[in-house]
Structures are given as C-alpha cells and as structure tokens.
Amino acid sequence: MTVADVGRKAPRRPRPAPGAGRRSPLRVLGMVVVLGFTAFNLLVLYWLIAASFKTPVEIFTKPFALPVRWFQLGKPLRNFAYAWDQAGFGDAFLTTVVLVAASSAAIVLVSAPAAYALTRLGVRGSGPLTNLIAVGMGVPFQTVIIPLFIGLSTVHLTDSLFGLFLVYVALSIPFTVFLLTGFFRSLSDEMEEAAAIDGASPLRTFFAVMLPLARGGLITALILNAIGLWNETLLAIVFLQSQAHFTLARALFTFYGAAEYQSEYGGLIAGVTILVLPMLVLYLVLARRIITGLTLGSGK
Amino acid sequence: MATIAAAPATQRGAAGKPGPTGTSGGHLVRKRRLFWPFLAPALILYVVFLVAPTIVTGVLSFTRWAGAGDTPQFTGFAGYLRMFASDSFRSALVNTLMYVVVGGIGTFLLAFLFTMVLRDMPGGKLVRTILFFPNIVAPVALAMFFSFLFKSDDKGLANFVLGGLGIDPVRFLAPENVTLTVIGALVWASSGFYITILMAAVDRIPPYLYEDAEIAGASAWQKFRAITLPLTWDVVGVAGVLWTINALKIFELVFVLAGPGTYSPPTAAWTLGIYVFDRSFGSQGTPDYGGASACAVVMIALTSVFVVLLRRLMRRDTIQF
C-alpha cells in the first residue's frame, strides 16, 4: 500500500506512458469513493465495539471517543453483563450455537448425497431436477411461512426449536444443493473410475473417494449455512414466541423495543456486538473461503 | 446459470447409456440404484417445506381466513381486488419497487465505479475484504446500527456530525424519508457483495487487454465501456437476478428502522415483506391469512417477472476470451 510496495510490483507489467489514463477524473472520483467507503466500514466497526463499552450519555455525546465512564466505575463489561443476564442473550447465545451447528450439519448431510446423485450418477432428468431445486432459491420465505406455520402448529412444532430446525434445514436445501452440485461437477472422473475398477462399491466410492475430494465444498457449505442461519431473523420471529427459545437475532429484535423504552442503549449495543462478533471472528479467519463460496454460483 | 447447469448432466446421461459392456456397465447400473436413496431426503424436505407451502399459499390467496378458530372461505379474486385498492398495499408495492429499482441502480453504479479502481489498486484485496464485511452481519444488527446513525433528534450520529457542521437536524426516519434512508443503508450493506462478484469476473480478464488500451491512451471510462462491461456482461446479468431476488423480500432493515421495533412501522414505509408479516403474524388485530397470502403471491410473481425480464434484457452472444 506504500510507495515502496508499488515500486516493487512495477516490473511485472509494463508501465503505461507517463500520465496516460492514470489521472482521469473518473479514476480519481472512484479512488476517493473506494477509500471513503472503506474508511466508513472501519469506522462503523470501531463505533460498534467502542459504544458497547459506553454509557448512553457517552454514546450520544461522544460517539467517536474511547469509552471512559464504565472503566472509571470499575465495571468495564457492565453492558455485556446486562445483555447477557438481564436481556437473555446468554441463553440465546447457547441456543443459537446449538441450533446453528445442528442445522448446518444436517443441511450438508442431506444435501451432499443429493448433489452427488444429481451430478455424478448419469441419471437422465438430473439436469431439470437440479434446476427445479435451484429455483427454490428465488422463493421469498414470506411465500411459505403461513402454510408452514399452520402445518407445524397442527403437529405442535411451533415455538419449538426442533420445528425451527426442520424449517432451517429444509429451506436451506436449494442453495446448498446448488452450491455442492458445482463442487461435485468440477471433480474429475478418473478417481471415481479408478475406485470402480478396484472393485469399490458405488456407496463406498461415494464415502471413501468422492466425499473426501469434495471436502472443500462441504466445509464451505457448512460455513455459509452457519453464517446465514446465525443471522436469520424472520423465521425465528414467526416460529419462536417464548423467550426461553429465542435465538440471538430473535432476542435482539425483541430487546430493541424494550431497550428504547428504558434508554438501555448500552445493553442494546452490547447485544448487537454479541450477535456480530462471532461472525466477525469467523470472517477474519476464513474471509477468502467465505467470499469465494458466497460468490461462486454466480461466477460460472 | 440454470440452463448452463443442465448441459453437462444431460451429456453425462447420454454418454453413459450406449456403453453397457462388462463390469463398467454393471457398475453403472449399481451406481444408478443410488440415485433415489441419495436424492430422496433432500427432495422430500424440499417438496414438503417449499413446493407444497407455495401452492397452499396460492390457494389461500383466494380465501378469507382469520387463522385458528376460523374456517377459510373461498372468495375468488375479491381478496386481491380489496388488496390492490388498499393504501397499505399500494405503498408497500411502490416502496418495494423503489428498493429493487433505485437501490439496484445505486448498487450497480457503485459496483461499476469500484471495478474501475480496484482492478490494479495496491492493497485491493484487503479493501475488498473490508467492503464485503457488512454481508456477514445480520440485517437486524445492521438495522440497529442505522437506527443509532439516523435517530431523528440530535442524538443520532448523522445529526451529531451535521450539527458539528452547523446544519439543522434531518428527520431521516420520518415515514416520508425513511424509504430513501433505507435505500442508502441497503446500497451500503449490499454493494460489497456485488463488487466481489463483479471483481471475480474482472480478474479473469487478461491484463494485456487493459495494457493495450492504456498504451493507446484510453481513459478509465473507455476501458470500462470497451473491455470491462462487455467481458463481464453475463456475470452482471446473474448479479442483477440475485439483487432482484434479495431486494424484493427486504424486511428486517425497514421493519426496525421505520418502526418502534416490535410492532409494524407506519404503512407509508411498508414493503411487501412487511405487509405479509403484518397481516399474518403482526401483533395487532386479527390475522388476515388470505390477504397476506395474496401479497405473498404478488411477491413471487414479481420475482419471476423481474428475473425473466432481466434474463431477456441481458441475453446476447457469449464473447470468448
């Protein structure tokens, strides 16, 4: 990013004639927007984390300053303690971790064999079937919540984490199957044929050869579903009513009104941070995989 | 992407058929026996939780039904006519189209501008990672952040900064302004995703094309017009489809920013997604499952129309490079 960096990279490609295309107004405008945009994102992140340690007065009167008051009072984690204990984010955190882990694992468990069947078994009609499932990605959840709610309530699975688990798994299938068909299709036939010649049964070929080969795709699918479900709000609002079952996003949604009413802004922002921080950590570790995974379907 | 996806699978099916010789033929048959056991769990869940409910919603949209304790009554198109005549639906429809069209134009203009700069910018990868970041944050959390940013009194962060510059506070979240405010928030939150998709396509363009253009003295706009846009056209089309699908169901961002949080916002700020939610699970009054279903049908119809239109508009011969 420094001048020295640019100098070092220069020999790779021939430099254009001095000034040619470099300083066009559009480019300068673009540069300004890009840098402004990037700076704004970093500022948002700073504001969020700083504010989660502040008192309401500090949040509103010194939005860009570092937190001071709670540190002076010797209770730096006061907002987090409030959100965690009083507002139910502690329970919600555990619920969310378990629900998201179980759902993501189940989604991949169901989708991987389906994607394999649709791409590598050479059955006629696989193409149209794949498209039929992929079309499901375009269906807004609003279109299905009413019948799903009625159906699940007749079998007493509303306001139930198992009911929400079923909904999460089923509604994530179109995206996951579509993503994984891309991965399975990109595998070469040779390994599969070699396994067949060595006498491995088709089932064994799938588990011992194809699944390990598609491991990257399976992990990507697992992570993307985990992020999506961690952040999911609409279905959680519809299918969970009692606080004991709330997920983090659901708890935050409910806490918002109460926090405004009680001026409990510190606790509210701490709640936002509790929801955002795990995803941020995941993102810092796995940014490349998350980005390529999420943009994969569109590029090819 | 759907039609492209179909091609290799059918070829495989055709190629596999004429060669049932010896062990490989027997193996093929045994392999195909796996098809239904492997596909069935996913397909059954898909049909039961997605296909069937969509059909049921379609049927319910022709009824009047207040939910549990009431029996659905067939009313034909009366429910639709009532809905189209209501102010709340009209503003929901207009607002949703605003998000899709105005937000879409804003997002793609921004994304195009970024492709011109990011391609050969030092530190571009890091910048892209930072730009993408809002996409992993829950919309409900983004909405909370924006509610702090845009609070109407002088408490809000934006008005705090404006006040520092000597400008009077702006009521960003008042019903008449909130749609524009949320469009801005939406463009900010989603542009990183579309920038990343477009940049993945731009990175595949051979650099010598740009170098030749630079030597010929092309401006940034000319390079974009003559190289970037034509060579990423297909990806732009897919990105447009994704945008439409996502923007049409916008819910949390508007619900939290325009309203008190737990209850629905004023109808002037509604979107179709909020209309469906309010009429079915919103906390006020008796539910109107028939009306909510009718609006849900409008949502899926709009999605289909937009997607088909976009694919038609963007269709052209593939450029090989």
Give φ, ψ of B17 to 5 degrees.
-70, -50
Q: What share of chain B is helix, strand, coil (3-state, %, to 5)?
A: 70, 0, 25
Q: Are residues A169 and A205 in the same domain?
A: yes
Residue A67 lies in a domain: yes
Alpha carbon of B268: minimum distance to chain A alpha carbons (Å): 20
Residues in chain B: 321
Which of B15, B127, B261 has its CB closest to that of A38? B127
Q: Domain boundary residue among A76, A104, A120? A: A76
The answer to whether residues A237 and A111 belong to one domain is yes
**B38 contacts in chain A (CB < 8 Å):** 113-114, 116-117, 121, 206
Q: Helices B52-60 and B289-314: crossing angle, nearest 10°?
A: 120
Complex ipTM, two decimals? 0.86
Same domain, A64 and A93: no
A45 shares its domain with A143: no
Q: Is residue A280 part of a domain?
A: no
| B234-269 pLDDT per residue, tens | 889 989 999 999 999 999 999 998 887 677 889 999
The answer to whether B50 contacts A171, with C-beta atoms less than 8 Å apart, is yes
Residue after which a domain boundary falls, among A52, A76, A100: A76
Mean pLDDT on B285-293? 89
**Mean pLDDT, rounded, for A273-288:** 92
* Nearest-angstrom CA–CA distance, A123 and A130: 12
Domains and CATH numbers, chain B: 93-314 (1.10.3720.10)
| Dist. CA B287–CA A46, nearest whole Å | 42
Q: Is residue A36 included in any domain, yes or no?
A: yes
In a mutational test of the B interface, the residue from A1, A5, A34, A207 whose CB has the highest number of chain B CBs within 10 Å is: A34
As a whole number, the mean pLDDT across chain B is 86
> Are A41 and B134 an interchain contact pair (Cβ–Cβ within 8 Å)?
yes
Q: In terms of domains, do A61 and A26 share one?
A: yes
What confidence tens digit (pLDDT) does each residue in A111-156 have? 999 999 999 888 888 999 999 999 999 999 999 999 999 999 999 9
Query: Phi and psi at residue B296, in whole multiples of 5°?
Result: -60, -40
Residues A72 and A91 in one domain: no
Copy the structure tokens of residue A226.
Answer: 């985990």
pLDDT tens string A145-178: 999 999 999 999 999 999 999 999 999 999 999 9
- The Cα of B127 is separated from the nearest Cα of chain A by a number of Å equal to 6
Amino acid A64: pLDDT: 85
pLDDT tens for A10-58 read 445 555 444 444 567 777 888 888 999 999 999 999 999 999 999 988 9
In a domain, A295, yes or no: no
- pLDDT for A199 equals 86
Q: What is the predicted pLDDT for the residue at B125?
A: 84
Mean pLDDT of A50-70: 89
Interface residue B242 vs chain A (CB under 8 A): yes
CATH of residue A123: 1.10.3720.10
Same domain, A181 and A200: yes
Q: Are residues A249 and A210 in the same domain?
A: yes
Q: Which domain holds residue A129?
A: 87-262
Task: Please indicate, yes or no, if residue A26 is contained in any of the structural domains.
Answer: yes
**Nearest CA to CA, how far is B65 from chain A (Å)?**
11
Whether A294 is in a domain gets the answer: no
Residue B157, both tokens: 């962060």
Is the Cβ pair A127, B10 closer than 8 Å? yes
Is A10 a domain residue?
A: no
Tell me the average pLDDT across B285-297.
Answer: 91
CA distance A69 to A58: 8
**Are residue A166 and residue A24 in the same domain, yes or no?**
no
Scanning A136-165 for CB atoms below 8 A from B yields 136-151, 153
Using a CB-CB distance cutoff of 8 angstroms, which residues of chain A are in contact with residue B130?
A: 38, 41-42
* Cα distances (angstroms) measured from residue B248 to each of A158, A238, B176: 26, 19, 20
CB B301 within 8 A of CB B314: no
Residue to substitute from A46, A57, A121, interface B, most B β-carbons within 10 A = A121
Nearest to B141 among A27, A252, A260 (CB): A252
- The runs of H, that is alpha helices, within A2-144 are 3-9, 25-51, 56-61, 69-72, 78-81, 89-120, 126-135
Do A214 and A258 have their domain in common? yes
Question: Position B125: which residue type?
Answer: K
Same domain, A54 and A118: no
pLDDT of residue B30: 80
Query: For residue range B173-210, what is the model confidence (pLDDT) as tens digits?
Result: 888 889 999 999 999 999 999 998 899 889 889 999 99
Contact A298 B235 (CB under 8 A): yes
Provide the pLDDT for residue B24: 56
Determine whether the interchain pair A201/B30 forms a contact, defined as Cβ–Cβ distance below 8 Å. Answer: yes
In Å, how far are A92, A95, A245, A259, B180 from A240, measured between CA atoms? 12, 12, 6, 20, 32
**Percent of chain B clearing pLDDT 90 (strictly above):** 55
Distance from CA of B83 to the nearest CA of A (A): 16
Q: What is the pLDDT of residue B89?
A: 96
pLDDT attached to residue A52: 93
Crossing angle of helices B289-314 and B78-85, in 10° steps, is 80
Question: Any chain A CB within 8 A of the CB of B259?
Answer: no
Mutation for testing the B interface, residue in A9, A55, A93, A139 having most B CBs under 10 Å: A139
Q: Are residues A172 and A256 in the same domain?
A: yes
CA distance B50 to A156: 19
Q: pTM of the predicted model, to two decimals?
A: 0.88
Mean pLDDT of A248-268: 89
Count of domains for chain A = 2
